[in-house]
Amino acid sequence: MTKRSINQRPVKAVGLGCMSLSWGYGTLPSREYATTLLNRALDLGYDHLDTANIYGMGHNETLIGEALKGRRQEFFLATKMGIVIEGEKRGVNCRPENIRRCIDESLARLQTDHVDLYYMHRRDRDVPIEESVGAMADLIRQGKIGSIGLSEMSAETLRRAAKEHPIAAMQTEYSPWTREPEIAVLDACAELGTTFVAFSPVARGVLANGVQDAGALTDKDLRRMMPRFNLENWPANRALVDAFCEIASELEVTPAQLSLAWVLSRGEHVVAIPGTASIAHLEENIARADWTIPAEAAARIDALINERTVHGPRYSEAMQRTIDTEMFA
């Protein structure tokens, strides 16, 4: 598969987001199945795994540590800190003392002495970004992390952070269905030599044709809280998906493969980390990773699905206030 790089380390263009093995999209796989899936990922050639300390409140990191014990040298490992959940309350803490505490807890769960990439999961508006980045730079000097990443932050914040220390990666949601990175962050990453890591590159399963009826999503599925899946917006969005699937059929790829190819076509500094709790989807996502989307097809997708045609914002107003990314008017 095509290689790109994070912090000058080559990685496959398609990595694996591990969140859905522990949290987020309804019914979770058994630990046995999740262990099999993670090992199958490495066997298939996945070499970039992404997790976070809040995925299942430590469950995901623990799962990776146990499932891939003895295979740590086979993959680039990224995790995140900063989001704090206490009961129903959710906040952000990127103070230096919390950063230091969280990395030690993550390393213990992951059963490793270092991670290759450590993200601030969200911006802490009570702490200067330079102060948080400085604390993370100390972790590099201590050998606990290999590089620094930011998640769901703006181009302005990225530039401020990069003046303190080089930023290896910026992770933000990106697909034909979510275009906000095109406002400024994609270009800022290219300018600064920062890899753009696209999460939800198949639009939370939508552009994999994985959501037929949004009303049937379970109570534990986080998509139920997203405006694009409500009764008002979903019918129009589902019509976009049907047209997208027709393009995929014409090109003889699956909808998921088409969405991934579109994301990867946006720049050589872009990598994608689709998540899945299905071994079949794991295999599908990597099977055509070297396929290049024709320019004409990319243009059709751009015209079909974009910030003007998708109905509803990606987050509720309350959730949007917790992130630092640019928004379309």
Length of the chain: 329
- Cβ(211)–Cβ(242) under 8 Å? no
The continuous run of DSSP H or E covering 151 comes out as strand 148-151
Query: Of 55, 118, 119, 174, which one is the catalytic site residue?
Result: 55
By C-alpha distance, which of 254, 263, 301, 305 is closest to 282?
254
Return all residues near 88 (Cβ < 8 A) that are at least 6 apart.
none
Between CA 77 and CA 246 the distance in angstroms is 36
Structure tokens at 176: 């034909």
CB-side neighbour CA atoms (13 Å) of 139: 28
Provide the 3-class DSSP secondary structure of residue 137. helix
Handedness of CA 243, 219, 199, 60 (dihedral sign): negative
Respond yes or no: is residue 55 known to be catalytic.
Answer: yes
Catalytic residues: 55
